[in-house]
Amino acid sequence: MTKTYRVVNRFRFTVFVVLTIVILTTAVNFAFGFNTAASLTKTDYMDVQIVSGDTLWSIAQNYMPSDMDTRKAVYELCQVNDISASELYAGMTIQVPIYH
């Protein structure tokens, strides 16, 4: 014996179907990562070899744009390389962002 369903209220049924589709679409987007944001600009990096006497401050002044605040540039260098200013030593290679 098969059970048959009868639509009593057409508006309520339509709202139910639309909400179900929206919820399923959202769930699929979250599950498969379709909602990840991509950066509008891709940052390129240059490797810089540290020599004796180099500081993050001097590297920031030499390689970062002149209109950028040096403190912000030092902070960005620390973030990109996952280091603090005191962890810089000769022979180390760090990545410096290139601004176009």
All domains in the chain, ordered by first residue: 44-98 (3.10.350.10)
pLDDT of the residue at 39: 66
Question: What is the distance between the alpha carbons of residues 88 and 49, in angstroms, rounded to a whole number?
Answer: 11
pLDDT at residue 40 in the model: 66
pLDDT at residue number 5: 84
d(CA 61, CA 42): 22
How far apart (Å, rounded) are the C-alpha atoms in residues 73 and 54?
A: 15
pLDDT at 38: 66
pLDDT tens over the chain, length 100 residues:
788 888 899 999 999 999 999 999 999 888 887 766 666 667 889 999 999 999 999 999 998 888 989 999 999 999 999 998 888 889 999 999 988 7
H-helix segments, 48-96: 56-63, 70-81
